């Protein structure tokens, strides 16, 4: 597992700039929860780097049973930060009646099924890694994250955010950080970090579409729909079809994502705008998938997966490097005269990453 650059905040679903905004503009309760979440996320940085430092490259790869099943284990952290917590549901066991635990179990399984059934990948590492999740983490914790070993879910503050198991694409997104760790290990900073976030949005969306059996045209292309409560003006955390339009609310502020390279945001916040500029490659994927039509996981999704696993994809790859490789992989998989090859190339042109 490639080691992340030291000092960078680890991947988590809700970006720090949004939590900063809540810590200043929300109600007293939501402000306190956002401030607490920011503190916990910073603490997780050191833990995440320690796990990355124990990566599989330092010795023989772990050996797991290839079983074509997720090997899930859901734990209850019982509102502490002690992980994994009390085991409440193991693989094959009946539902618990705890909606967060049962959603985590179901959606870990949905993510596993996409990667296994469509891309022939046996779990996150490709070698049958058991999927562990902990729910009810912290006190109304406003986030979810993959810590290098397991998934962790907060319950949300209940005013601005709901529980973080509510949307299958949140879980698909965070587990994909683990896939990237075991493949290219894109550095979580600047354009490589924005690619990292975008790829996670792509496969989070594909997990949802695969579960719902939706075509690219039927899908809503919203990431985290349902996460925000009805008290705020928000459709989701991000929109892949229309970056910058997911929310516009006095408490949340306005969605800052650009949809084109001409609006690329240069910032030192958010590890160099990893959750902001990811809107550009997100829109490229949406354009490619909808132009090809049909189930996106079978077309553009295969191209993106081939590119994530392409050994030529460097840790410091920028948007252009990923775009060029994806165009090559589209031609390799579907043919140089295929609709997929043309759609992928046109999509990157449309968002200004490659010259038209």
pLDDT higher at 159 or 3? 159
| Single pTM value for the model | 0.93
pLDDT tens-digit series, residues 184-221: 999 999 999 999 999 999 999 999 999 999 999 999 99
pLDDT tens-digit series, residues 16-56: 999 999 999 999 999 999 999 999 988 876 555 545 444 43
Q: Is 260 a catalytic residue?
A: no
- Reply yes or no on whether the pLDDT at 63 is more than 80: no
Q: In the chain, where are the structural domains located? A: 16-182, 190-350
Angle at 121 between CA 117 and CA 336, to 5 degrees: 80
pLDDT tens-digit series, residues 217-255: 999 999 999 999 999 999 999 999 999 999 999 999 999
Q: Is 275 a catalytic residue?
A: yes
Distances (CA, A) of 313 to 26, 112, 254: 41, 24, 33
Tell me the average pLDDT of the chain: 92
Alpha carbons 46 and 225: distance in angstroms, whole number: 30
Question: Residue 118: how many CB atoms within 10 A of its CB?
Answer: 16
How, if at all, do strands 151-153 and 131-135 pair? Answer: parallel
Angle at 317 between CA 313 and CA 320, to 5 degrees: 100
Confidence of residue 1 (pLDDT cuts 50, 70, 90): very low
DSSP string, 92-157: TPPP-S-HHHHHHHHHHHHHHHIIIIIT---STTSS---EEEEES-TTT---EEE-SS-EEE----
Q: Provide the pLDDT for residue 60.
A: 42
Q: Are 209 and 185 in contact (CB under 8 A)?
A: no
Alpha carbons 224 and 203: distance in angstroms, whole number: 13
Query: One of 136, 173, 210, 275 is an active-site residue; which one?
Result: 275
User: pLDDT above 70 covers what percent of the chain?
Assistant: 91
Confidence of residue 64 (pLDDT cuts 50, 70, 90): low
Q: Provide the pLDDT for residue 6.
A: 36
Q: Provide the pLDDT for residue 47.
A: 56
Query: One of 103, 174, 183, 197 is an active-site residue; which one?
Result: 174
CATH of domain 16-182: 3.10.170.10
CATH of domain 190-350: 1.10.390.10
List alpha helices for the chain, DSSP H: 16-25, 28-52, 99-113, 168-182, 190-212, 270-273, 279-292, 300-308, 319-334, 339-350
How, if at all, do strands 72-76 and 238-239 pair? Answer: unpaired
Average pLDDT over residues 88-108: 98
């Amino acid at each position: 597992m490639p080691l992340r650059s030291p000092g960078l905040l680890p991947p988590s679903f809700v970006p720090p700039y949004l939590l900063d905004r809540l810590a200043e503009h929300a109600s007293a309760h939501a402000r306190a929860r956002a401030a607490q979440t920011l503190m916990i996320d910073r603490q997780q940085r050191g833990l995440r780097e320690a796990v990355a430092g124990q990566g599989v490259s330092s010795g023989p790869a772990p050996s797991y049973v290839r079983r074509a099943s997720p090997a899930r284990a859901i734990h209850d952290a019982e509102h502490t930060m002690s992980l994994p917590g009390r085991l409440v549901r193991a693989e094959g066991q009946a539902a618990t009646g705890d909606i967060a635990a049962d959603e985590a179990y179901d959606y870990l399984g949905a993510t596993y099924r996409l990667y296994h059934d469509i891309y022939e990948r046996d779990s996150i590492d490709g070698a049958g890694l058991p999927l562990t999740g902990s729910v009810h983490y912290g006190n109304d914790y406003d986030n979810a994250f993959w810590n290098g070993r397991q998934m962790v879910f907060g319950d949300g503050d209940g005013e601005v955010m709901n529980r973080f198991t509510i949307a299958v694409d949140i879980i698909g997104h965070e587990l994909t950080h683990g896939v990237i760790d075991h493949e290219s290990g894109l550095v979580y900073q600047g354009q490589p970090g924005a690619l990292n976030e975008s790829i996670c949005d792509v496969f989070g969306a594909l997990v949802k579409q695969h579960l719902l059996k939706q075509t690219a045209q039927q899908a809503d292309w919203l990431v985290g729909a349902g996460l925000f409560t009805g008290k705020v003006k928000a459709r989701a955390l991000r929109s892949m079809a229309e970056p910058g339009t997911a929310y516009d609310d006095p408490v949340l502020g306005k969605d800052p994502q650009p949809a084109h390279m001409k609006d690329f945001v240069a910032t030192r916040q958010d590890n160099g705008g990893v959750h902001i500029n990811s809107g550009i490659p997100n829109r490229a994927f949406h354009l490619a998938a909808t132009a090809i039509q049909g189930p996106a996981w079978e077309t553009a999704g295969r191209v993106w997966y081939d590119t994530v696993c392409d050994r030529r994809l460097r840790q410091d790859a920028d948007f252009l490097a990923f775009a060029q490789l994806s165009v090559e992989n589209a031609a390799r998989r579907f043919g140089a005269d295929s609709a997929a090859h043309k759609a992928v190339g046109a999509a990157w042109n449309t968002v200004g990453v490659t010259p038209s």
